[in-house]
Every structure is written in structure tokens, then in C-alpha cells.
Amino acid sequence: MTIKAVKSALRLAYNSQLFHRGFANVSKLQRGETPRREDIDRLQAGWGNSGWSGDSTFLQAACWLAGACNGPILECGSGLSTILISALPKLPGAALYSLEHMEEFRLKLKAELSRNKLAADVVAAPIRSYGEFDWYTIPDDLPKEFKLVICDGPPSQTRGGRYGLLPVMRERIKNALILLDDAERDDEKAIMLRWQEEFGYSVCPLHSPDGTVALMIPNSMKDAAN
Ligand SMILES: C[S@@+](CC[C@H](N)C(=O)[O-])C[C@H]1O[C@@H](n2cnc3c(N)ncnc32)[C@H](O)[C@@H]1O
């Protein structure tokens, strides 16, 4: 075995330990509690998909909202966020449905969920054309109404990026909050503007040293609350 191979094996073993430690702490959380940043950092290191997994601010915000949600949750773009949300104690009815267009990632995630005895529906959702833009294929048996959307996909090279969420899912998410990751990027800013103008949403940005996430609230929900 070369020194390089030994170093790589040691790093893998160390990261795996980090993952287990982070996961063990998250599994002990009570309902309403949000994972601590150091445990999210451990899970990120252990999951080993840096550059693609949500940052700590996004993951904490996703957990905070999911923990308070009392209905189905739609996730666009699966990964570590799916594991974290699945591991949290949730309110009755808060089942997680995660759209994933890459079969390889979907199978890897399903194996990890099952290894950790977690329940989430990782939905095979190939990207398809909707005319002006591309977005996930939506199976007919997905719930008709969601209360929360965690939006971290599809990847930015998709035609139209994340825009398709509103035109495709509009009826099913009309009473849902949307947490959008990467809201500091120009593409996401343009999408948020279109969602505001075309579908009637308000934006609450949350800036952090990691980046910006945005909470999108349907104006109809705000009006009903006033
Ligand atoms: C931003 S990632 C979603 C990350 C997920 N929400 C998380 O926190 O781990 C969006 C999509 O990119 C794809 N993806 C994830 N890792 C990738 C990688 N290393 N290379 C290429 N595509 C990747 C997957 O299809 C995923 O659904």
C-alpha cells in the first residue's frame, strides 16, 4: 500500500467517524430543536460532497422549518439535507418527499437512509422539458398539497434553473413556504424576481458568511394572516 493510499484510507475512516458522531447528536434532538452547527459541520465532512451540499445556514434553516411543519414537505435536490430532515423529530403529517434526477445519487442516498433507519421518499424525477424551461418530472402519486418546499435543485446548468418550481407545482404549493438556497447568486435573484412578479411572492433574505438563503412567502398567505 502506498503512503497516499494509507492517507486516503485514514481520511475516509476519520470522516466516517465524524459523520457518525454528528448523526448520533442529531438523532438525540427533541422536537423543535435544531441541529448545532458543529454537528452539521461533522456531517458535511463525513458526507464528503462539498461544493454540492447545502451550507450550514441553509441546512439549519431547513431543519428549523421542517421541525415546525405540520404537513408534507417537498425537497428539490436531495442529499445531506434529506438525511438531516429525516433524522429530526417532526410533527404528524410532515412526511418528506425529495426529488432527485440523478439515479446514482438517489440510490446512494436511499442506501444511506436505510442504513440509518430513516424514512424519506427519494423520488426518481428525471429532468424534462416544460417548453420554456426544464424541470423535474412529477409522478402522479405525489401529495396534492405541500406545506413547505426546500429548494436546492435542480442544478444551475438546467435550462431555467429552479424557476420551474412555481409554474409546475403552483397548485400543490400555494399554501407552502419556500426555502431557497443560493439566493445570493444572480440566477437565483432573477428567479426570485420572476416568482414575485408572476406568482405573487414576498422574499425574506437571510444573509450569513456562508451565503444567502431566502424564505419565499405566498402573498395570499400573508394577506390571510392580516
Ligand atoms: C445542490 S445539490 C442538492 C444538495 C442537497 N440539498 C444537500 O444539502 O446535500 C442539487 C443536485 O445536484 C446533484 N449533485 C449532487 N452532488 C453532485 C456532484 N458531486 N456532482 C454532480 N451533481 C451533483 C444532485 O442531483 C442533487 O440533487
At 131, list the grid cell: 417548453
Mean pLDDT over 119-142 rounds to 97
CA of 153 to the centre of ligand 1 (A): 7
Bigger pLDDT: 211 or 122? 122
Answer for the pair 125, 99: CB distance below 8 angstroms, yes or no: yes
Statement: the pTM of the whole predicted model exceeds 0.85: yes
The residue whose CA is least distant from atom 16 of ligand 1 is 52
Model pLDDT, residue 92: 95
The residue whose CA is least distant from atom 18 of ligand 1 is 52
- Dihedral-angle region of residue 216 (phi above 0 means left; psi in -120 to 50 means alpha; beta otherwise): beta
DSSP conformation class of 53? S
Q: In a 10 Å sphere around its CB, with 0-12 CB exposed, 13-18 middle and 19+ buried, how is residue 101 labelled?
A: buried
**Start-to-end C-alpha separation, the chain:** 67
Q: Which residues make Cβ contacts (< 8 Å) with residue 183, sequence separation at least 6?
A: 189, 192, 203, 205, 211, 212, 213, 214
At 79, list the grid cell: 442529499
Checking if the pLDDT of 1 tops 80, the result is no
**Tens of pLDDT, residues 15-33:** 999 999 999 999 999 998 9
- Among residues 126, 171, 176, the alpha carbon closest in space to that of 153 is found at 126
Mean pLDDT over 209-225 rounds to 89
Q: pLDDT-based confidence at 185, cuts 50/70/90?
A: very high
Atom of ligand 1 at shortest distance to CA of 76? 27
Identify which of 56, 105, 112 to mutate to test ligand 1's pocket (most ligand atoms within 8 A of the CB).
105
DSSP string computed for 87-136: HS---TT--EEEEE--HHHHHHHHHHHHHTT---EEEE--EEE-SSSEEE
**Tens of pLDDT, residues 44-97:** 999 999 889 999 999 999 999 999 999 999 999 999 999 999 999 999 999 999
Q: Does ligand 1 come within 6 angstroms of the Cβ of 53? A: yes
CA of 161 to the centre of ligand 1 (A): 13
